[in-house]
Homo-oligomer: A and B are copies of this chain.
Amino acid sequence: MSNNTSWHYENFEPTGSAIGYRITRKLDEVQSPFQKIEIFESTDWGNLMLIDGAMMLTTKDNFFYHEMMSHPALFTHAAPKNVVIIGGGDCGTLREVLKHPGVETAVQCDIDEQVTRMAEKWFPELCDANHDSRATLMFDDGIAYMKNAAPNSLDVVIVDSTDPVGPAEGLFNKAFFESCFRALKDDGILVQQSESPLMLLELIKEMRAEMGKAGFTTFQTLPFPQPCYPTGWWSCTLARKGKGFDFREADSRAKGFQTRYYTADIHQGAAKLPPFVAAELGE
């Protein structure tokens, strides 16, 4: 191992735990109007993106998150055509969404253009679909975007946000979820990243409660591994207006695109919560 390596740690206060990487150098840094974005090169994880010191993604392990933020929702909706991604500036979720041939429009609305510029530069593989004719990349306030979205116009809204502090704080409350509820069609699905099911179960409960106040009635929290996030175990939560979650299993099994983590079996497995999580969520 080169003598020029050092260790970079992120202390995550809410869980009392930290994750670190052996890095070789800082590749880039930009202070946007919203946050500080840093790119590091690591010995084993490819490139790392940190926002205000918080680990956002690594080349090595981002596929868990991006696949699980998109495919479970898209294979649950009967025929998703119009998708909006709030946040998601690294474009990895957009890429996964556009693997679905039935999707007609996918809007990515991230407040910070610099996140996408850095992704294009340091994670180009995530930006493969940015020039897909179905894709629209916007750099604007996601809260305002959803507030102004046409009622009953969307099939799936994916909230691919940072932690509920700073710019993303407004993406975890009733007012925002009400906007999503209004913009979704009757069979629409909202997906939100929902933090660690081991250490932040209270946050998941509160988030589901806020979604409930906004009108959503059925919820599904799916855990998955995400090594670069605190505890290494993360989750997404799906919310629906009225009906249950009807997994299009046959379509999922016959999907004509590659994934590294997501499969129909993984999807079904994730939906079976461990007892300690199910008990807390009242399932």
Contacts and interface: CB of A to CB of B under 8 A. Distances in A.
Interface in A26-82: 42-45, 60-61, 63
A103 B223 CA distance: 32
Label chain A's interface by main secondary structure: mixed
A1, A199, A232 interface centre (most CB from chain B within 10 Å): A232
Nearest to A278: B263
Interface string A241-283: 0000000000000000011111101101110101110000000
A45 B196 CA distance: 14
A11 B223 CA distance: 26
Given A260-B276, A269-B265, A274-B263, A18 B13 contact: no
A203 interface: no
Contact of A43 (B16, B61, B225): B16
A17 interface: yes
A217 B172 CA distance: 50
A14 to B, nearest CB: 9
A20 interface: yes
Contacts of A263: 272, 274-275
A175 interface: no
A22 interface: yes
6 contacts: A7-B18, A11-B20, A17-B21, A227-B233, A263-B272, A265-B272
